[in-house]
Structure 1
């Protein structure tokens, strides 16, 4: 499929009609309404994060079931796999970005984009060309937008786009004299949209030009009566003016000619306030294209607003100004610009009232006629901008409240806002679209260096690449580094990179006698911080993970969670942290992290650093322990959660929130484990590895699972902890089994038996003998496997070790089945299911239920088999368990095939192969073999 996608130019998406994803002309199997609705939400917000909570609210109209988040995650998983299989290049992909998901896609692949672009291209063209472009746009629709998901995903902007295209095409046809042909079409449209005045005006004009003056006047009277009765309003000024002209038989309405562009109003200035573009600008092609695309929303949204969001120094202002200059000619009535100083630590943020004064003066309002009150100034400002094509750039906004009075009320003006934080109130209240800027990729970063320092030689390229990496792709740092290279021939890229990677790294990134530098900016901010925030910032230099929340910060700093949350919010306001979504998570830019780490090394004693790390380790041990208890019952005797203050742990209340917590904190957990290993905190390392293994055992994917267990095993051995070594060896056996690396299990299992026997611990011996039995079974040694497993079962029952007893029964059932002892296999599996449900085991219970389906299939009891298989599929989907879902669908596919339903069987096997793709190559190959055998007959 990947080759076909590449040949056809990738996946194309349709929203203007039934939802579809096409490779060439072949539709992809998108699944049911839920999956299609999630895809529609992602496409409507392409290249923007769609919060998971918003998806839930939209799909269930604010009345979601308890498992709604898990169901949506299942939809996302299916779409992600489908896109990955269809387009292996990754040009279309769904990324997890807190607090939700982001669809990375070239927006030109979406039919909505083409319609918008054709509408935008038509503006300013001669009437005949406009009509051609707009008819082409109309042909993109294949019915009502999002037709196959009914009202699940409200998208009024698509209906508005269709009407905007239609009205613009009718305007062009009227200019070309096609009024006779338009009367019938317009009459039907007015019936469908009775309060859309532009359509009413078009119908009245077409009727008058067709010699039907009485019908034109009656159309106006009918609209006026209905508007007054049903809406309590009078016709608008343009409609009233047209009525007067028809009433007085103004024959100039019969003239068919292309209207000339409207000149600026006499007495009103045409401001051109854009500042100069920043030297050294490079890259941002995708971001510039996104802004170009946003132009097409002018005249369609109530007030078209685009926002550029990102941390200090990432180049928001430079991008905004560069793009504004590029498109200035598209706004003949002028361009307004204001720095809102939302995050300037030296000056107060700009007052909207003062900014409105500046704008009104720039628009030609005499100073004596500028209103005093903010609301009156805003009203006059909106009046002056009504129906005028203007660009308003609002730079460095502190919040939505600062921006709101500066918004025009006109759909013909476009607003571009930059800010260091998301302006969610503008998104919700004004329909703004936000683009989050990241740092520059390598080639763009090298171009910034070249633009300021001049082109480097081929021999210097490797040094410049290292320099760009050390600048973290931050445009401000790159421009300063380029300026250093340009100012002094003695500075080479190699020397500057060496300096930057040394102890005084940030000192190198300075220009103009240190007045402009990364360190100067950070130092000035740091010195201005209150004492408690300065202390927090130093400690943040010790945080090993990429994302920080209030719970981890509270542990690191030794303060209550509420205080930690307030400190993080305040530091985000000071631009030292960058908020990530709405879930209270933050990250530090690499250079800010570097600055904080330098302060931690310089200003904290060794014991302070060690105590902070141990507090953080203890938090993650307790939080991981709390979360894993909702996934499967603890069997290892580790208990960190019960003694840790509940209010200091991130809230986890069920299996769904436990899975979410592990997923969101995984990178932090791995980074903390590595930091603990570097500090030689061996016990904490193997304990943490053991706890987080329970998450991977439930939601199994092939990434760093074995690597973290190897680290845990090394730590247990370094601590000379036999119990820890047994647990780590057993976990490694489990992981290898799940990942299909069966031939690697037996040595670990036999080593585990030797240690457990020496320790004389029945529970550990049960685990070890279980692993040996499982390994022997998969080597085809069935009788020895039964002996080891039955011995392990005896030990587990003696130790009252129910989690292991359940697993042993499930494993024994597989061996009994191969030995044709089907009745024993069914009895063992049924007891395993009972135990799993009794102890609250989430992952293995799905396997056991699916195993029952397989056993009943072998006994020829097809209805019972299908019932168990479908129950396993439902449970796996509800809990978003990829591996378990793959296994359950594989079993269901075989059952359906046995029942003769080959089409349904193939559908289940294809789905199983997709679920297995990222988890178990061995299992995926088995499913593919079944599919290959099935293919010729279907």
Structure 2
């Protein structure tokens, strides 16, 4: 298991992400003394001097051996660390990058060589307090002073780079604090003078120079050094080389806002509340089936709140369900985001983790909106999330991104529009007059669009393409359910419902795809878990897992626990895909289960009814009802589905099954007074 050692703060070790107890302060000091020279032997005398400051106890060798024996035991779970003794003394063998001190120095060297802010920031994030905290010996005190000086130097180097990049406002507060803590540091004073000047505060810059000059004279009897004096002269002469580099253009990458958005006031309000709450990076993951308007909602909100994000808005289509190829990799997406933020592609690191670190450093402190459209899953999105609470993220996906929800994102699920909202949307597309003049045709079209804004838009596009044709022409095309998806086709991939649904379908694995197809042929508005198991020929555990995946993909809904339903247009698409043989076998299995269950329930409701004998159930195990109330509840939940199953049986020539279902249903109808 991987091990990580921390020396830049309290002396700690973590194995597989969990802290281990390193023992008392002297024992921790022994480990730190070896880790400082990792992979190099430290003699017993040198180690004793580091631990006991030249005054080792009488049995120092035995004490060291005892401490290191205990350390071996507590680190036994880490396969990549070895504590050994040899001719040169004791040595800890482990990868240097596992120790924050050595990782810090490596990152500092890379940051200075590449002049990259992300490396500077990564190095500084390794600090969690004073180095070797809690251990006080002359050696640790000397190491603390050395490392503190290294840290101060890297902070000054980072500030120099930030100023060269023209980001003087971003570091002004940091420089001011540093100068207040060490007013005689001329390099820090020069950085503050330059930042003030570039921020349009020339008088303040000159005033701070003068205060620094006087303090140096009073406390040290010296004048400012050449660099600070030259900076002062350039400010007095307004030297052009002091001007900040030209700012990178603020990214404004949002696609156009939708022309109309209706019925989404509640969801827009949720987005506003989440972004306004603060405290952490606000992330909203908008989910829903294909065509429900996820991107439209995200773009409408984004355009309405541009003022919240003066540092820009970036947009990436992650192509999670793109028919033309594979989803975009996180690495490619990060590079695209960095390009939008002005990073030079030629200077970007090749490693994905390094790219992500650079991206998060670049957006730190920015008031930026990141729109990640058409995500495949949470794993594709997570590397693209900023680390700064000043940013906000909107994600859209056909999958319900539960993984992001676990990490604090707000999941916003979009349902289809109500008929009133869909009618309003159609009126905005084609105008109020046709909607008013052909109210009956509009009612039919709206009902068949089933609340999908994409379907309404397709109907509107077809209507406006032939303005002289009455809407009733479209109604006639849509009336036949088997041809309805053909009618909802405006001529290209993005406005063809069948094509749009196919992008979600092709992302399913074979088992999910088969269950999806069979659910499309199930009669009735919804289906219970036992019925779904019979329909698909799977056992309850298997079908539950697949149904959960389909719900996550927004191809299925679970409005109440254990009952599932499909959107009407998705059902039509699924039914088209089911082969005739598979369709017949699935309906036979479903009919067999429902017949046996209905027989048991009907007998409890009307025991005086003549009993109809059924063939032994071969492929199902019908539930037994403990009492009349349970039987009644089952009939109430299954009533619409049983009626639809009876009609399907009759339509396919299974008249005996249709008659048996009618007989069992009559027991429920009589019990409920539904015989009139």
For residues 600-615 of structure 1, the aligned pairs below 5 Å read 604=580, 611-615=585-589
2 CA distance for matches of 1:667 and 1:501?
30
Give the equivalent residue in structure 2 for 1:287: 267
The structural deviation recorded for 1:682 is 9.1
CA distance in 1, matches of 2:494, 2:395: 27
> Partners of 1:515 and 1:395 in 2: how far apart?
15
Structure 1 segment 880-891 matched on structure 2, within 5 A: none
Which residue does the alignment assign to 1:14?
none
Which runs of no fewer than 5 residues in structure 1 stay unpaired?
1-222, 253-258, 689-710, 717-724, 737-743, 749-938
After superposition, residues 536-551 of structure 1 pair within 5 angstroms as 536-548=515-527, 551=530
Instruction: Choose from 504, 508, 511 the match for 2:490.
Output: 511
Name which of 321, 328, 331 aligns with 1:343.
321
Task: Find 1:554's aligned residue among 533, 553, 562.
Answer: 533
User: What runs of 5+ residues in structure 2 fail to find an aligned partner?
Assistant: 1-127, 135-143, 156-170, 193-198, 201-243
Find the residue that maps to 2:394 and give its secondary structure: strand
Report the CA distance between 1:537 and its aligned residue: 4.6
For residues 450 and 348 of structure 2, the distance between their equivalents in structure 1, rounded to whole angstroms, comes to 47
- Structure 1 residue 296, shift from structure 2 partner: 1.2
Bigger RCO (CA 8 Å, 6+ sep)? 2
* Alpha-carbon distance in structure 2 between the residues aligned to 1:437 and 1:410: 27
Contact 2:535 2:586 in 1 (8 A): yes
Aligned match for 1:415, one of 388, 393, 402: 393
> Does the 8 A contact of 2:322 with 2:503 survive in 1?
no
Q: Distance in 2 between matches of 1:373 and 1:635?
A: 76
1:399 alignment partner, one of 377, 386, 403:
377
2: distance between equivalents of 1:577 and 1:642? 35
**Matching residue of 2:643:** 674
2:591 matched residue in structure 1: 617
Distance 1:549 1:347, change over 3 A: farther
CA distance in 2, matches of 1:512, 1:686: 45
Residue of structure 1 equivalent to 2:54: none
> How far off its partner does 1:527 sit?
8.6
Q: Distance in 2 between matches of 1:511 and 1:728?
A: 45
Equivalent-residue separation in structure 2 for 1:486 and 1:513 (angstroms): 16
CA–CA separation in structure 2 for the residues paired with 1:316 and 1:447: 18
Query: How far apart, in 2, do the equivalents of 1:321 and 1:455 lie?
Result: 25
User: Partners in 1 of 2:381 and 2:178 — Cα distance?
Assistant: 39
Q: Quick one: distance in 1 between partners of 2:410 and 2:599?
A: 40
Matched position secondary structure for 1:342: coil
| 2:432 match | 455
User: Residue 295 of structure 1: CA displacement?
Assistant: 2.4
Q: Secondary structure at the match of 1:275?
A: coil
1:435 aligns with 2:435: no
Deviations 1:94-137 (A, max 9, x none): xxxxxxxxxxxxxxxxxxxxxxxxxxxxxxxxxxxxxxxxxxxx
TM-score by length of 1: 0.41
- After superposition, the Cα gap between the structure-2 partners of 1:619 and 1:581, relative to the gap in structure 1 and judged at 3 Å, is same
Equivalent-residue separation in structure 2 for 1:626 and 1:375 (angstroms): 61
C-alpha spacing 1:441/1:401, structure 2 compared with 1 (3 Å): same
SS state of the match for residue 510, structure 1?
coil
- Contact kept in structure 2, 1:622 and 1:641, CA below 8 Å: no
Superimposed CA distance per residue, residues 383-437 of structure 1 (whole angstroms, 9 cap, x where no aligned partner): 11112111111111111111110011111111111111221121112x1111110
Distance 1:649 1:576, change over 3 A: farther
Summarize deviations over 1:187-234 as a string: whole Å, max 9, x none: xxxxxxxxxxxxxxxxxxxxxxxxxxxxxxxxxxxx999xx77xx999
> Aligned pair in 2 of structure 1 residues 424, 533: CA closer, same or farther (>3 Å)?
closer
Structure 1 residue 477: Cα displacement: 0.7
Distance 2:261 2:496 in 1: 18
User: What is the 5 A alignment of 1:740-755?
Assistant: none
- Matched residue of 2:286: which SS? strand
Match of 1:366 in 2: 344
What's the CA shift for 1:337?
A: 0.8
Q: Does 1:270 align with 2:246?
A: no
- Aligned residue in 2 for 1:316: 294
Q: How many residues align?
A: 455
> d(CA) in 2 for partners of 1:436 and 1:366?
38
Instruction: Decide whether the 8 Å contact of 2:313 with 2:368 is kept in 1.
Output: yes
Counterpart of 1:511 in 2: which secondary structure?
Answer: coil
Deviation at 1:243, TM superposition (A): 7.3
Q: Is the 8 A contact 1:546 1:667 kept in 2?
A: no
Which stretch of structure 1 is more off in the superposition, 396-405 or 365-374? 365-374
Change (3 A) 1:581 1:266: farther
Kindly indicate whether the alpha-carbon contact (under 8 Å) linking 1:578 and 1:588 is maintained by their aligned counterparts in 2.
yes
1:626, CA displacement in angstroms?
Answer: 9.9
1:268 Cα offset (Å): 4.4
TM-aligned CA distance change 1:687 to 1:508, over 3 Å: closer
> Structure 2: how far apart are the matches of 1:426 and 1:515?
27
Cα gap change, 1:525/1:290 in structure 2, threshold over 3 Å: closer, same or farther? Answer: closer
Q: How many Å apart are 1:531 and its aligned residue? A: 8.0
Q: Is the 8 A contact 1:568 1:577 kept in 2?
A: no
1:467·1:497 contact (CA, 8 Å) conserved in 2? yes
TM-aligned CA distance change 1:330 to 1:613, over 3 Å = same
- SS across alignment from 1:312: coil
Give the aligned CA root-mean-square deviation in angstroms: 5.2
Separation in 1, partners of 2:644, 2:353: 55
Q: 1:271 to 1:728 in 2, by over 3 A?
A: closer
The answer to whether residue 180 in structure 2 is matched with residue 245 in structure 1 is: yes
Structure 1 residue 578 displacement after superposition: 3.0
Q: Do the aligned partners of residues 341 and 526 (structure 1) sit closer, same or farther apart at CA in structure 2, a change above 3 Å counting? A: closer
CA distance in 1 between counterparts of 2:669 and 2:490 reads: 53
How many angstroms apart in 2 are the aligned matches of 1:542 and 1:405? 40
* Inter-partner Cα distance in structure 2 for 1:432 and 1:330: 19
Report deviation, 1:440.
1.4
- Return the match for 1:588 from 558, 566, 574: 566
CA distance in 1, matches of 2:405, 2:549: 23
C-alpha separation in 2, matches of 1:459 and 1:582: 39
The Cα of 1:481 is off from its aligned counterpart by 0.5
Task: State the structure with more CA Rg.
Answer: 2
